[in-house]
Amino acid sequence: MNHVIEHVINIPNVLVELNRILKPNGKIWITTPHYTDVNSYTDCTHIYHLTSQSFNRFTQPSLENIFTQEFCYIWLKSFGRRCGYENFLNNNCERPEINKRLVKWEKFKSHLFRGDEMRFVLRKNKY
C-alpha cells in the first residue's frame, strides 16, 4: 500500500479486510507521509495524518492484535538526514516494539527534525 492508507476513510475496516485475505504469516507493506511532512497537508485528498504509533491498535497484545509490526522506518527531511539523526532514530527499526526513540522524537523533536515518509511492515498473526 504505497501512499494509499492516508486516503482511506475507515482504516480499521481496511486492516481487518487485509487480515482476512492474507495467508497466515502474510505481510503487508504500508508507506505513508509522516504527519510532520508538509505533503501530508497539501494534498486535499489526505484524510488522516499518521505517526509511527498509528497501527498500534492492531499490533498490541492487549488490543486487537491481528498483526505483528515487523518494521517501522521513518525517513527524515534533509536536515535530519544530513546531521545523522535519521540513523540514530531508526536504530531499532527491525524491533519496533523496543524503539522508544520514535515515540520520544514524535513528542519532543519531530518539528525540529521533520519526518518525510514512513514505511511499515505488518505480518498477519497465525490464529
Q: What is the DSSP letter of 79?
A: H
Q: Average pLDDT of 106-126?
A: 91
Q: What pLDDT band is residue 76 in, cutting at 50, 70 and 90?
A: very high
pLDDT at 71 exceeding the cut of 70: yes
Read off φ and ψ for residue 68, nearest 5 degrees. -115, 130
The number of folded domains in the chain is: 1
The whole domain housing 24 covers 5-124
Alpha helices in the chain (DSSP H): 11-21, 39-42, 78-82, 85-89, 100-104
CB 124 within 8 Å of CB 67: yes
Task: In whole angstroms, give the CA distance from residue 8 to residue 6.
Answer: 6
**What is the pLDDT at residue 98?**
59
Task: In whole angstroms, give the CA distance from residue 123 to residue 121.
Answer: 7
**What is the pLDDT at residue 126?**
77
**What is the pLDDT at residue 3?**
94
Q: What is the pLDDT of residues 58-67, one digit of tens each?
A: 887 766 788 9
